[in-house]
Structure formats: structure tokens, C-alpha cells
Amino acid sequence: MRLPRPALLILAASVAAAACSEGSPRSAPGATPTPEPAPEALRIVGEPGPSGGSPAPPPAPVPRVTTTARTAGAVLTASTATTQATPGTPVDVPYRLERRTSDPATAGFEAFARSTLGDPKGWSRAGFRLVHRADAKFTVVLAEGTEVDKLCLPYDTYGQYSCQNGPTVALNADRWRTATPKWTGSLDDYRRYLVGHEVGHLLGLRHPRVQCPAAGQRAPLMGQQSTELNGCLPNPWPLDSEVAVARRRPADLAPPYRP
């Protein structure tokens, strides 16, 4: 593991932890976790906030938004349809896959990821049509830790973690190869979890406040199951409660880094 970055960067990463898998900023030395709302309590425009205050006024209608993500030596820009305006309406999410590794253990990444994203047990239950397309601007990348670190900036992934950053989902190849010591399920299910979790962030979902509702229950897909199963059963698919939130379109597609 690399040495921690300066305290200011660690604090910024902890505030933005919603888009990083496995609780990476919270595990950084000196970082203070920022509580995330549970899936059922995600704030929707026009609803009261966590403290029960006045509803937030809805934003002025904007038909399209632009998000950016920093990559290694380039900036990706993606125009994305606003999803908050039409809860429940089917949304097409075109994506492409990039395997930036060459070892046999990652050779089946593309086929496996396509199968996961097209599975009827996944986010299609919430009305998202994940469509593989060669020219898509949403990209799911499998890469080594050092490259994932660059793709995830300004999130800090410490060479170990994965993230969603604007239109880019960056998956750590070491996680793909071996999962984590805390994971108690199969390697295939871990890979499904990793893809589904980070693409869930692309669809606007966040980590739950409670990582394990009760021992023996299935963990939320958007929970940080790599490190925080805490007695829950490993689970590679969204729970009914998570599907219900996703149907409400809690955020625009491909949320950018927010300091």
C-alpha cells in the first residue's frame, strides 16, 4: 500500500466515498468517514433531507448534463440524459468494456461483464437497459492498481480499490483475480458483485449507511462487501429495496467527483 496522501486529499476522498468500492477512503489512516444514507433513505429532489428540514427545491429543467472524469493523460467527457425527471422510465445506458491486462486470469473479463450487466437479476430490474456498444462513452475498465489510481483521481484508491468516476468505471485487476479475504462467496459471485456495485454508482446509487442489516441476511449490493460483510451473506445482485430506489432515479447517470 502506498503512503497516505496529505490530510486534505484524504478528507476530500472521505467526503466523496460514495463512488468508491470497498470503503477505501474510510480505511485510509486519519480519514473520518462520512455517513452514507441507507438505500431506502436516499434523498430525492423535493423530499426532506436527513434532518427532516424543508424539501429541497427541484432544479430548473435541464434536458442534458455533461460530466467529466480524469483519466491517465486525458479527460473523458460524456453527455448523459438526466434521469431525475422521469422516475421509472426505462433508461438506455450504453457502455463499452476495456481489458487493460493480458494475463490468463483476466482473459474472460469482457464476456463475464457483459453477462453480468445483461442478467435479468441485475439493474435491468430497475428499468436500466445496459447496452454494450463499441462507441459508448460510459466505459468499464479492468486494469492494474496503478492505472486504476490514475483513472479514479481525485478519489484515492491506494492501488487496491475500484471506483466509478464520471463516465468511467475502473475495476482493480487484483480484486478480479482473487477477491478479498473478507469475501465468503465464490470468485464468480465476487466478480458479479464488483461489476454490479460499481455500475450501480454509475446509475446514481450510493453506499448504504448500514452495511449489514442483520447477520444471516443477504448484504446490499451497494454495501462494501469486500471489507464489511459483518455476518451478512455475500450477494452479487441488487436487493428489492435497492431496485426500488433505482427505479426512482436518485441521481443523474455518471455522477462526477464532488469535493
Domain holding 77: CATH number? Answer: 3.40.390.10
CB of 182 closer than 8 Å to CB of 214 = no
The residue-averaged pLDDT of 197-223 equals: 97
Residue 11 has pLDDT above 90, yes or no: no
Q: Is residue 258 a part of any domain in this protein?
A: no
Is 79 inside a domain boundary? yes
DSSP class of residue 56 equals P
pLDDT at position 110 is 98
Q: Is 252 part of a structural domain of the chain?
A: no
**pTM score:** 0.73
Q: How many domains does the chain have?
A: 1
Distance between CA atoms of 8 and 5, rounded to whole angstroms? 8
Q: Please report which residue ranges of the chain form alpha helices under DSSP H.
A: 7-15, 24-27, 109-118, 145-152, 173-178, 187-202, 240-247
Higher pLDDT, 21 or 46: 21
For residue 21, the model assigns a pLDDT of: 63
Q: Once rounded to an integer, what is the mean pLDDT over residues 189-210?
A: 97
Arithmetic mean of pLDDT over the chain? 77
> How many C-beta neighbours within 10 Å does residue 253 have?
22
Bridge partner list, 94: 131
pLDDT of residue 259: 72
Q: Which three cell numbers, joined as nine digits, stand for 154?
A: 481525485
Tell me whether residue 257 is in a domain.
no
CA distance 161 to 155: 10
Q: Average of pLDDT values for 209-225? A: 97
Q: What is the C-alpha to C-alpha distance for residues 44 and 64, in angstroms, rounded to an integer?
A: 18
Give the range of the structural domain holding residue 15, as residue numbers without chain letter.
7-57+65-247
Angle at 36 between CA 34 and CA 37, to 5 degrees: 145
Q: How many Å apart are CA 87 and CA 197, to the nearest integer?
A: 21
- pLDDT for the residue numbered 190: 98
